[in-house]
Amino acid sequence: MTDEQLAAMHRLLAEYHRRLAKEAVLDVVQQYNSDLAQRFSDEAALIPGRTAIVERLHERERQKREEGE
C-alpha cells in the first residue's frame, strides 16, 4: 500500500466517523466518533513525514553496512 493510499484510507475513515458523530443520538457516542475522526485525520497528516524518517533510517543502515564491508 502506498503512502497516498494509506493517507486516503485514513481520510475516508475520518469522514465516516464524522458522519457517525453527526448522526449519533447519545453524547458519548458523538464524542467518541468525533475523537476517532480527529485521530484518523491527524494520522493521515503524519504518514508522509514518518515515511521520510523510515527511508532515512534505511539509508543510514545501508551506509553502515557498506562501510563495514
Q: Which tens digit of pLDDT belongs to each residue from 17-66?
A: 999 999 988 999 999 999 999 999 999 999 989 999 999 999 999 999 99
pLDDT of residue 4: 87
C-alpha cell at 47: 504518514
Quick check: 1 pLDDT over 90? no
Q: Please, where are the H alpha helices in 1-69? A: 3-23, 27-68
Domain range enclosing 15: 3-68
Using CA atoms of 26, 29, 30, 34 in order, give the dihedral in degrees to the nearest 10: 170
**Strand, helix or coil at 25?**
coil
Give me the number of domains the chain comprises: 1
